[in-house]
Amino acid sequence: MSFPRTLGELRQSPFSEQRLQTRRVKDEMRDNLMDKLRAGGPIFPGIVGYEDTVIPQVVNALLSRHNFILLGLRGQAKSRLLRALTTLLDPQIPYVAGCEIHDNPYAPICRRCRDLVAERGDKLEIAYLTPEDRFVEKLATPDVTIADLIGDIDPIKAARGGHQLSSEMTVHYGLLPRANRCIFAINELPDLAGKIQVGLFNIMQEGDVQIKGYPIRLPLDVAMVFSANPEDYTARGKIITPLKDRIGSEIRTHYPATVEEGIAITAQEAWTQRDGFKLHVPKYVQEVIEGIAFAAREDKKIDKRSGVSQRLPISCTENVISNAERRAVRGKEQMVVPRISDIYAALPAITGKLELEYEGEMKGADHVGRELIRTAIARTYDEYFSGVNMQQVVQWFDLGGEIQVTDSASAAEVLKALHPIQGLVEKLVKVGVGPKDAPEVQVSAAEFVLEGLHAHKRIGRNEERVFRAGEKQPKHSDKPFEREEPPFRGRRPYN
């Protein structure tokens, strides 16, 4: 790499004064975004489900050179999307070497650098920033101070340099000045105290600010982006009006619109590629896990204001695979194939992510979690088996049959025990599983059917995971969701 190392060299390089003098961060992002739009393809690779909703609005905000805010519930990839903005920054930008606020060599704003330019002229030393260096992030909390965010007068600095306390040379810079020529992201903006919001607004609007009563001029070049919970943001008095006015675009984020989209995000984020084992996560297991988040988002026992993060299915998937791994290691099995019982075993990865309303609190997180899993199982089961006659299987239990399927039982062992249940194994074709598949795969699919029947209360299951006859129900609700065999409504094939 032979980047110019002095101001003199810089002038003769592609980083010319003409190009850099007026190229502010927002211009730079706009230019690079334009190039991306011309090139076609995704603007923010890895952000799933926002292609037609959030991303076009973010693009418009950037083209408009707006400061903008993402409004959304937790776990909607807000921080991730803000971080992805760094992909719109130049690969390198030059700044005055040693400057705490990365001054533009052609237009330094700090006193130190202005003095240095005057003293050294074209011999002024130049350093470079990469996009990763240029993203500053702060989680707003009520105890953030002006000193944290903007800066403080440093009496020691003043004494050592023989400066007046009011001199710019005595300022110890806070986060915002250090984000000069960068993207500055503040998460949960409404948690910032009113006084700090005023300071922020002054910097954005006027380029000056008072620190301990001393006016300090700081015409910073910062792309400000924010995130907030929508209810907090719109609540009266949480955000001072002039600051709200300076935020050019308000963009709403959302949870995945479909289970398929949720699965795509979870598959991308969850840690699943582990060494040692051949892993096969059946599609219905993924659908049930994702379905838990969907069911939770509509459940009135769960707080709507805080939402249900996409991190729920992500952590749950990781825990489900771990439980299956544990079984495979213990049973010396060849393949790791998660089962529905592994989802129940993953409750610790679920309960912590649910903010319960009063009614939920009364029942307890564990109970609510189990209910959600059961709801998700019932829905997923219907996707595959709606219209399939399971009477034969149910009858086997009604006639006194019992089978225990613990989450630690090895596949070979369970498969043997499953064989007497007539009509069960043939039905697995609906999830794409046949008698030639590995025992681990067959057992997982068969257990899904049993769990589905249990979720619909057609068979019973006790705490030791013994499936048995259900409590007798009145005749009319005997077959709530099935007809005699096909015509089978087109469910897409497995795979």
Binding site for Zn ion (CB under 5 A): 99, 103, 108, 110, 113
Q: What is the closest distance, in whole angstroms, from the C-beta atom of residue 179 to Zn ion in the complex?
A: 14
* Cα end-to-end span (Å), the chain: 48
Q: Which is nearer to Zn ion, 103 or 451 (CB)?
A: 103
Pairing of strands 182-187, 135-139: parallel
Q: Which is nearer to Zn ion, 140 or 150 (CB)?
A: 150
The torsion angle over the Cα atoms of residues 299, 300, 303 and 308, rounded to 10 degrees, is 10
Cβ(491)–Cβ(430) under 8 Å?
A: yes
Cα–Cα dist 436/330, whole Å: 24
> What are phi and psi for residue 100, nearest 5 degrees?
-70, -25
DSSP code for 220: -
Which residues pair with residue 466 across a beta bridge? 404
Q: What is the closest distance, in whole angstroms, from the C-beta atom of residue 209 to Zn ion in the complex?
A: 17
Q: And the tokens for 341?
A: 């019982």
Which residues pair with residue 136 across a beta bridge? 184
Q: Which is nearer to Zn ion, 113 or 296 (CB)?
A: 113
Per DSSP, which regions of 285-406 are E strands? Answer: 335-336, 403-404
Cβ(289)–Cβ(270) under 8 Å?
A: no
Pairing of strands 459-461, 126-129: unpaired
Q: Which is nearer to Zn ion, 104 or 253 (CB)?
A: 104
**Other C-beta atoms within 10 Å of 476: how many?**
7
Q: What is the closest distance, in whole angstroms, from the C-beta atom of residue 315 to Zn ion in the complex?
A: 44
Q: What is the closest distance, in whole angstroms, from the C-beta atom of residue 274 to Zn ion in the complex?
A: 48
Residues 6+ apart with CB under 8 A from 101: 109, 110, 173, 177, 178, 180, 220
Q: Which is nearer to Zn ion, 110 or 405 (CB)?
A: 110
- Helix, strand, coil percentages, rounded to 5, for the chain: 45, 15, 40
Q: Which is nearer to Zn ion, 36 or 114 (CB)?
A: 114
Cβ(360)–Cβ(350) under 8 Å?
A: no
- Nearest CA to 300 out of 354, 253, 346, 379 is that of 354
Q: What is the closest distance, in whole angstroms, from the C-beta atom of residue 137 to Zn ion in the complex?
A: 22
Q: Which is nearer to Zn ion, 61 or 110 (CB)?
A: 110
Q: What is the closest distance, in whole angstroms, from the C-beta atom of residue 125 to Zn ion in the complex?
A: 12
Q: What is the closest distance, in whole angstroms, from the C-beta atom of residue 117 to Zn ion in the complex?
A: 9
Q: Which is nearer to Zn ion, 161 or 194 (CB)?
A: 161
Q: Which is nearer to Zn ion, 124 or 390 (CB)?
A: 124
Q: What is the closest distance, in whole angstroms, from the C-beta atom of residue 96 to Zn ion in the complex?
A: 5
**Containing H/E element for 293?**
helix 283-298
Q: What is the closest distance, in whole angstroms, from the C-beta atom of residue 65 to Zn ion in the complex?
A: 24
